[in-house]
Amino acid sequence: MSDLHSTARFSDRVDDYVRYRPDYPVALLEWLQRELGVDRSWRVADIGAGTGISSKMFLDAGYRVTAVEPNAPMRAAAEQWLHAYDGFHAVDGTATATGLADASVDLATVAQAFHWFDEEATRREFSRILRPSGLAAIWWNSRRLIGTRFLEGYEALLQAYGTDYTSVAERYADDARMHAWFGDGYRGSASFEHGQRLDFEALRGRLMSSSYAPQAGHPKHEPMLHALRELFDACAEHGTVSFDYDTRIFAGHMA
């Protein structure tokens, strides 16, 4: 997506991304195994793998994973973090040009990155790289916008200070759009509660890992951090706030 420079916009946020972005609930992998028959013999291609957060979930469970990531700093961070896993391999590629061989993948996964992809071109590429009975699984952590004073205040902060927050937020797919993307191959969806307990330093890093958070030197940067400090001080309990998500997954075949 050239208008938002999706493959480059996280290059200067890698350290914060590695340290402060959330992982994904193990219940998600258990759902894939229980409901869709995914097992450790399956070859996984993690598309838009970033720094390897989703790859690690599969590696920890004994899977072989090829991480496909076009952003060189993020790919290097994944390689540094996950190099000790025998089943891990990273390649330079995109969702529409993975560089993987035809019918070489059992499970194509996308965690958090799907909203940056050209959806139709991605469907064609997944159809090419997946074996005939292979699956695609798309998921993301959806930050809760309401429910607590902190969550509502954080959303208001992003609306006030985010550089292109609304444009990014509007790119996330809803259920109907995901059903349509899978078409007749749709197999199911699920949602899992997830979250982080963050002290102020971790909250600051979580904010700055977001591509729409203005960085140092931008006129909104310091006012944003001042507002974040005020929000944290007003909402923290025992030195942390609860950063709450619903992790949503959609899966199916490329019909």
- Between CA 173 and CA 153 the distance in angstroms is 24
Tokens at residue 241, please? 């706030």
**Domain count within the chain:** 1
Q: Which residue stretches of the chain have pLDDT < 50? A: 1-11, 170
- Between CA 34 and CA 53 the distance in angstroms is 22
Q: How confident is the model at residue 2, as a pLDDT? A: 34
- Between CA 166 and CA 152 the distance in angstroms is 15
Q: Residue 241: beta bridge partners?
A: 198
Range of the domain at 227: 2-252
AA letter at 40: R
AA letter at 199: D
- Between CA 80 and CA 46 the distance in angstroms is 17
- Between CA 182 and CA 227 the distance in angstroms is 41
CA angle (167 as vertex; 228, 245 as ends), nearest 5: 55
Write the CATH number for 137.
3.40.50.150
Q: How confident is the model at residue 171, as a pLDDT? A: 53
Q: How confident is the model at residue 169, as a pLDDT? A: 59
Within 10 angstroms of residue 147's Cβ, the number of other Cβ atoms is 10
In this predicted model, what pLDDT tens digit does every residue of 3-46 receive, in sequence order?
334 444 444 557 788 889 999 999 999 999 999 999 999 999 99
Q: Which residues of 3-34 are buried (b: 16+ CB within 10 A; e: fewer)?
A: ebebbebbeebbebbbebbbebbeebbebbee
Q: Which residue has the tokens 């991304």?
A: 17
Question: Strands 241-252, 130-143: parallel, antiparallel or unpaired by DSSP?
Answer: antiparallel
Q: How confident is the model at residue 100, as a pLDDT? A: 98
- Between CA 74 and CA 82 the distance in angstroms is 12
Tokens at residue 158, please? 């992003």
SS (H, E, C) 212-239: CCCCCCCCCHHHHHHHHHHHHHHHCECC
pTM of the model as a whole: 0.89
Tokens at residue 202, please? 């971790």
- Between CA 228 and CA 217 the distance in angstroms is 17
CA-based nearest residue to 58, from 39, 37, 81, 78: 39
CA-based nearest residue to 244, from 235, 252, 253: 235
Q: How confident is the model at residue 172, as a pLDDT? A: 67
Q: Which residues of 157-169 are buried (b: 16+ CB within 10 A; e: fewer)?
A: bbeebbeebeebb
Tokens at residue 235, please? 């909402």
Q: How confident is the model at residue 13, as a pLDDT? A: 58
